[in-house]
Amino acid sequence: MLFQSIHLQDKICDVRIEGACIAQIGPAGTLSERTGEEVREGGMLTPHFAEPHVHLDATQLGARTPNMSGTLQEGIANWAAVRDTLVADDIQRRARKTIGWYRNWGCTRIRTHVDTGNLTAVEALIDLRDQLKDEVEIQVVAFPQEGLLKAPGQVEQWRAAVSLGCDAVGAIPHFEHDLETGWKTVQMAFELAEEFGLALDFHCDETDDPSIRNLEEVCRQAKRRGNGSQVIAGHCTALHSYPDDVAAQVIADVVEAEIQVVTNPLDNIVLQGRFDGYPKRRGITRVDELWAAGATVGIGHDSVVDPWYRLGTANLVDAAHMLVHAGHLTADADMRRVFRTLCDDNHRCFGGVDPLQEGRVANVLYWPVDDPIEVIRVRPRPEVFQHGVRQH
């Protein structure tokens, strides 16, 4: 395969793929077509996308569990009502369908949260992770959807899930009875992660309540233990509603702790602000201010046709498109940074993105447009090359 006059990392180049690798990269016009070689001219090459936050145990259940109020609380209740009825074959079938959608849109790394209230689901997704390891890299987060200290047995199930072979430890401190208990579960998560040598991934402060301040405790623990690069705080929507001076201090803590904040704009534009009169809050975390302070941000799809979000295509550009609008990130530089996040900072929990360089594996997306802004505007389907082979 030969790509001529292609946009690659802010340069216009010729790129040749041979076998599974990127064989040559040269200035535009320097690589000539060989006999039998397929050629694309113009457009853009990028790395594959990575998904840092989705729920594959609940995916494709949206029609079975319609969320009539559109609230986070009803989504959790609807999920809890069906969770214990789920069997492994159904969980894997639904997850495979959504993973197929992700791959068709160019995403081959997926971090999924799995509710530790159903150990069958934990085992099913760990098994699926291992089955699909040659096609897609999956990480499984042990996620106690209904908290750790709200009911008997929750901690034991959570620990059991981690011991089954999860890749990261999760918690949901804002769902506990009070702030003190939430902070305690943050500490418990750090301790369990240290015990098993795992990363951490919190559902953190997914609320409009400005008094909820669990992100501060996540930062304190990460700074004290020196493992912030292994920590993600997802959602962080309460940050949207903090007074500006409080938000500035918390954002400074995030930067100092070196944790990553993952925003989930499709879900949170729907779930947040439900109890507001007009004007209604957007409820999406302060991405612009996090970036301005030097924080690392990721963008997740979060829900794909599930009890929280009935819509969803597993196309991360849809999440980027929503963030651009709801976050007022419509300056050219901001839109390009939003797109770049999908194929750069989203890879952080997977050890970083594999650069597009000579000699590296040819996991690339070919876009028929030459500007990330056009990708966000038009949302075309890329041609997906994995190990040099075009996927269909």
Farthest CA pair distance, the chain: 69
Tell me how far apart the alpha carbons of residues 283 and 274 are, in angstroms, rounded to a whole number.
10
Tell me how far apart the alpha carbons of residues 305 and 297 are, in angstroms, rounded to a whole number.
24
For residue 375, give both structure tokens. 């990708």
- In the chain the beta strands, taken as DSSP E runs, fall at 2-8, 11-18, 21-27, 39-41, 44-47, 49-54, 107-115, 137-143, 168-171, 199-204, 231-235, 260-263, 296-299, 364-367, 383-386, 389-390
Tell me how far apart the alpha carbons of residues 18 and 1 are, in angstroms, rounded to a whole number.
7
Tell me how far apart the alpha carbons of residues 52 and 42 are, in angstroms, rounded to a whole number.
30
Neighbours of 60 (CB within 10 A): 20
Asked if 235 and 218 touch (Cβ cutoff 8 Å), the reply is no
Task: Clarify whether 176 is annotated catalytic.
Answer: no
Asked if 363 and 37 touch (Cβ cutoff 8 Å), the reply is no
Tell me how far apart the alpha carbons of residues 151 and 157 are, in angstroms, rounded to a whole number.
11
Query: Side chain identity at 91, as an amino acid letter?
Result: I
The residue from 74, 206, 258, 383 that is catalytic is 206
Residues with catalytic roles: 206
